[in-house]
Amino acid sequence: MAPIYVCHQVSPIVLPRGGGRADEVRGARRPMFMLTRVGWMKRPDLRLAWQGKLAIAILIFILNAIIIFYIIEFRRLLFSLRINQYKKGPLVSEKKDILAQARDQDIQRYVLQENGVGYWGDTVHGLNDYLNTLGIHWDDGDHKFLDENLVDVFKQQAGQDSTKSIEAVMTKMNPAVRARNKNYLRNAVFVGKTDFRKTPRCFV
């Protein structure tokens, strides 16, 4: 029995002239031409695999660029100020350390030496030497040059934030006494500043 051959008629694809679908086809052929002629990829499966790998590589490159921008440049946008020269800053202490120093558990030291360490705003002041001098020269009025209410604030609120209490006492003084007390606190008994490196200001 002779074999029977069946022929299927395939309708030709007619593309419109000038624009439309023809432009899209020509645009799609351009990368194919680069793959077949320059990349020597004749097989369609190789070209398809190469296109997928190229798309993944582009996505990885974009993600890495975003990460590098966030690590390097985003910090510069937040903190644009740059310090070209280093300088020795003031001595800083954490507030919990000041509180621990003011409430020392050594009973003997606590009895022999009154503790007057506290902070006013962002500055730390210690009246230990002043209080010790008053303990020795208790009957000499020349050594009592600080306002008694101000001294009581440091003694009663040792290791705490005394800003509001100090400001309240300062407002009741006359200008001359207020200036004298401020100068003594800022110069003679100034210890340092509170440490802000562990605050949200430095962890943005």
On whether both 73 and 132 belong to a single domain, the answer is no
Q: Which residues, including other chains, have CB under 8 Å from residue 116's CB and lie 6 or more apart? A: 126, 127, 128, 130, 131, 151, 154, 155, 158
On whether both 72 and 164 belong to a single domain, the answer is no
Residue 175 lies in a domain: yes
Residue 100 lies in a domain: yes
On whether both 70 and 162 belong to a single domain, the answer is no
Residue 123 lies in a domain: yes
CATH code of the domain in which 150 resides: 3.10.120.10
On whether both 117 and 179 belong to a single domain, the answer is yes
Structural domain of 127: 92-194
Contact by Cβ (8 Å): 124, 93: yes
Beta strands in 44-194 (DSSP E): 92-93, 117-120, 123-126, 190-194
Residue 180 lies in a domain: yes
On whether both 64 and 96 belong to a single domain, the answer is no
Residue 87 is classified by DSSP as: -
Q: d(Cα 15, Cα 154) in Å, to the nearest integer?
A: 93
On whether both 113 and 184 belong to a single domain, the answer is yes
Which of 60-74, 123-137, 175-189 bottoms out in mean pLDDT, i.e. has the lowest? 123-137
Q: d(Cα 140, Cα 204) in Å, to the nearest integer?
A: 53
pLDDT-based confidence at 62, cuts 50/70/90?
very high
Residue 179 lies in a domain: yes
Q: d(Cα 2, Cα 153) in Å, to the nearest integer?
A: 119
pLDDT in tens, 18-46: 444 444 444 445 455 555 655 556 677 77
Residue 17 lies in a domain: no
On whether both 181 and 111 belong to a single domain, the answer is yes
Q: d(Cα 48, Cα 35) in Å, to the nearest integer?
A: 10
On whether both 50 and 131 belong to a single domain, the answer is no
Q: Which residues, including other chains, have CB under 8 Å from residue 16's CB and lie 6 or more apart? A: 22
Task: Determine the 3-state secondary structure of 126 from DSSP.
Answer: strand
On whether both 96 and 43 belong to a single domain, the answer is no
Q: Which of 43, 78, 113 is the last residue of a domain?
A: 78
pLDDT in tens, 128-186: 777 777 777 666 666 777 888 888 888 887 777 788 888 888 888 888 888 888 888 88
The count of domains in the chain is 2
pLDDT-based confidence at 86, cuts 50/70/90?
low
On whether both 102 and 146 belong to a single domain, the answer is yes
What integer pLDDT is reported at residue 76 of this predicted model?
72
On whether both 47 and 131 belong to a single domain, the answer is no
On whether both 72 and 149 belong to a single domain, the answer is no
Residue 121 lies in a domain: yes
Q: Which of 47, 78, 109 is the last residue of a domain?
A: 78
Q: Which of 78, 106, 123 is the last residue of a domain?
A: 78
What integer pLDDT is reported at residue 124 of this predicted model?
81
